[in-house]
Structure 1
Amino acid sequence: MDFQAYDIAIVPIILALVQLAKQLGLGTKLQPVVSLALGIVAGIFYIAPDDPKQAILIGIVMGLAASGLWSGVKNTFQKK
Protein backbone atom coordinates (compact mmCIF):
# COMPACT_ATOMS: atom_id res chain seq x y z
CA MET A 1 0.00 0.00 0.00
CA ASP A 2 1.34 3.43 -0.91
CA PHE A 3 1.27 6.26 1.57
CA GLN A 4 -1.22 8.80 0.23
CA ALA A 5 -1.02 12.54 0.75
CA TYR A 6 -4.41 12.60 2.48
CA ASP A 7 -3.14 10.09 5.04
CA ILE A 8 -1.08 12.91 6.54
CA ALA A 9 -4.39 14.33 7.80
CA ILE A 10 -4.03 11.85 10.66
CA VAL A 11 -1.32 14.05 12.18
CA PRO A 12 -3.74 16.80 13.32
CA ILE A 13 -6.11 14.11 14.59
CA ILE A 14 -3.30 12.68 16.73
CA LEU A 15 -2.50 16.18 17.91
CA ALA A 16 -6.13 16.77 18.88
CA LEU A 17 -6.35 13.47 20.76
CA VAL A 18 -3.17 14.24 22.69
CA GLN A 19 -4.53 17.71 23.50
CA LEU A 20 -7.73 16.09 24.78
CA ALA A 21 -5.70 13.70 26.92
CA LYS A 22 -3.73 16.70 28.22
CA GLN A 23 -6.95 18.41 29.27
CA LEU A 24 -7.99 15.20 31.03
CA GLY A 25 -4.81 15.26 33.09
CA LEU A 26 -2.09 13.60 31.00
CA GLY A 27 1.33 14.71 32.20
CA THR A 28 3.63 16.72 29.95
CA LYS A 29 6.28 14.01 29.90
CA LEU A 30 3.83 11.40 28.61
CA GLN A 31 2.46 13.46 25.72
CA PRO A 32 5.17 12.49 23.20
CA VAL A 33 4.80 8.82 24.14
CA VAL A 34 1.02 8.94 23.65
CA SER A 35 1.48 10.77 20.35
CA LEU A 36 3.94 8.13 19.15
CA ALA A 37 1.64 5.30 20.27
CA LEU A 38 -1.35 6.84 18.49
CA GLY A 39 0.73 7.26 15.34
CA ILE A 40 1.77 3.61 15.38
CA VAL A 41 -1.81 2.48 16.02
CA ALA A 42 -3.04 4.62 13.11
CA GLY A 43 -0.28 3.21 10.91
CA ILE A 44 -1.14 -0.38 11.76
CA PHE A 45 -4.91 -0.12 11.51
CA TYR A 46 -5.39 2.56 8.84
CA ILE A 47 -2.34 3.28 6.71
CA ALA A 48 -0.85 -0.16 6.04
CA PRO A 49 -2.68 -2.98 7.82
CA ASP A 50 -1.13 -5.55 5.46
CA ASP A 51 2.50 -4.41 5.92
CA PRO A 52 3.53 -4.15 9.58
CA LYS A 53 7.02 -2.75 8.92
CA GLN A 54 5.66 0.06 6.75
CA ALA A 55 2.81 0.69 9.20
CA ILE A 56 5.15 1.06 12.15
CA LEU A 57 7.58 3.28 10.24
CA ILE A 58 4.84 5.60 8.98
CA GLY A 59 3.20 5.55 12.42
CA ILE A 60 6.44 6.66 14.05
CA VAL A 61 6.81 9.48 11.54
CA MET A 62 3.22 10.62 12.11
CA GLY A 63 3.56 10.44 15.89
CA LEU A 64 6.79 12.41 15.86
CA ALA A 65 5.32 14.97 13.50
CA ALA A 66 2.33 15.41 15.78
CA SER A 67 4.33 15.87 18.95
CA GLY A 68 7.23 17.77 17.50
CA LEU A 69 10.47 15.85 17.73
CA TRP A 70 12.47 18.50 19.53
CA SER A 71 9.79 19.65 21.93
CA GLY A 72 8.97 16.04 22.76
CA VAL A 73 12.56 15.26 23.65
CA LYS A 74 12.81 18.50 25.65
CA ASN A 75 9.63 17.78 27.62
CA THR A 76 10.67 14.20 28.30
CA PHE A 77 14.10 15.01 29.71
CA GLN A 78 13.44 18.44 31.19
CA LYS A 79 14.13 18.67 34.91
CA LYS A 80 11.85 20.66 37.17
Structure 2
Amino acid sequence: MNTKPRLTGEPIMRILCKTSENLVGYLYQWNNGDVQPAWFDGAMADVRYEPFFQAPEQNPADPKAPRPRQQGLTHLEKA
Protein backbone atom coordinates (compact mmCIF):
# COMPACT_ATOMS: atom_id res chain seq x y z
CA MET A 1 0.00 0.00 0.00
CA ASN A 2 1.21 3.47 -0.88
CA THR A 3 1.91 5.68 2.14
CA LYS A 4 1.71 8.99 0.25
CA PRO A 5 -1.67 10.74 0.45
CA ARG A 6 -4.10 10.81 -2.48
CA LEU A 7 -4.50 14.52 -3.19
CA THR A 8 -5.51 14.67 -6.84
CA GLY A 9 -6.68 12.10 -9.35
CA GLU A 10 -7.46 12.10 -13.03
CA PRO A 11 -9.42 9.64 -15.18
CA ILE A 12 -7.12 7.60 -17.40
CA MET A 13 -9.50 4.99 -18.87
CA ARG A 14 -13.16 4.29 -19.46
CA ILE A 15 -14.63 1.17 -17.88
CA LEU A 16 -17.06 -0.51 -20.30
CA CYS A 17 -19.40 -3.46 -19.81
CA LYS A 18 -18.24 -6.32 -22.07
CA THR A 19 -21.77 -7.42 -22.96
CA SER A 20 -23.59 -4.11 -23.48
CA GLU A 21 -20.58 -1.83 -24.23
CA ASN A 22 -22.16 0.72 -21.85
CA LEU A 23 -19.91 3.06 -19.91
CA VAL A 24 -20.04 1.87 -16.29
CA GLY A 25 -17.25 3.94 -14.72
CA TYR A 26 -13.82 5.49 -15.00
CA LEU A 27 -10.39 4.33 -13.89
CA TYR A 28 -8.52 7.06 -12.00
CA GLN A 29 -4.81 7.47 -11.37
CA TRP A 30 -3.90 9.41 -8.25
CA ASN A 31 -0.94 11.74 -7.72
CA ASN A 32 0.78 9.04 -5.63
CA GLY A 33 0.52 6.43 -8.42
CA ASP A 34 -2.46 4.52 -7.02
CA VAL A 35 -5.10 3.41 -9.51
CA GLN A 36 -8.77 3.18 -8.49
CA PRO A 37 -12.03 2.47 -10.34
CA ALA A 38 -14.97 4.83 -9.87
CA TRP A 39 -18.20 2.96 -10.67
CA PHE A 40 -21.50 4.62 -11.58
CA ASP A 41 -23.78 1.92 -10.08
CA GLY A 42 -21.53 -0.45 -8.17
CA ALA A 43 -18.64 -2.66 -9.22
CA MET A 44 -19.03 -5.10 -12.12
CA ALA A 45 -16.93 -8.16 -12.95
CA ASP A 46 -17.33 -8.50 -16.73
CA VAL A 47 -15.72 -5.24 -17.92
CA ARG A 48 -13.00 -4.00 -20.21
CA TYR A 49 -10.82 -0.90 -19.95
CA GLU A 50 -10.44 1.53 -22.84
CA PRO A 51 -7.97 4.45 -22.95
CA PHE A 52 -9.46 7.85 -23.72
CA PHE A 53 -7.34 8.25 -26.84
CA GLN A 54 -6.11 5.50 -29.09
CA ALA A 55 -3.88 6.86 -31.82
CA PRO A 56 -3.94 4.93 -35.09
CA GLU A 57 -0.66 3.23 -35.83
CA GLN A 58 -0.94 3.87 -39.56
CA ASN A 59 -2.37 6.48 -41.87
CA PRO A 60 -6.01 5.39 -42.44
CA ALA A 61 -5.95 6.78 -46.00
CA ASP A 62 -2.91 4.69 -46.94
CA PRO A 63 -1.82 1.98 -44.48
CA LYS A 64 1.67 1.90 -46.01
CA ALA A 65 2.30 5.62 -45.49
CA PRO A 66 3.28 6.91 -42.04
CA ARG A 67 0.97 9.31 -40.29
CA PRO A 68 1.67 12.97 -41.10
CA ARG A 69 3.33 14.98 -38.36
CA GLN A 70 1.27 17.65 -36.69
CA GLN A 71 2.39 21.15 -37.60
CA GLY A 72 4.00 23.04 -34.75
CA LEU A 73 2.88 26.44 -33.50
CA THR A 74 5.88 28.30 -34.92
CA HIS A 75 3.88 29.31 -38.00
CA LEU A 76 1.63 31.43 -35.74
CA GLU A 77 4.52 33.66 -34.65
CA LYS A 78 4.55 35.34 -38.09
CA ALA A 79 0.78 35.88 -38.21
Give me the TM-score of the superposition, normalised by structure 2. Answer: 0.20
TM-score normalised over the length of structure 1? 0.19
Which fold has the larger relative contact order, with Cα–Cα distance below 8 Å and residues 6 or more apart in sequence? 1
Greater strand fraction, Structure 1 or Structure 2: 2
The structure in which a higher percent of residues are helix is 1
The structure with more radius of gyration: 2
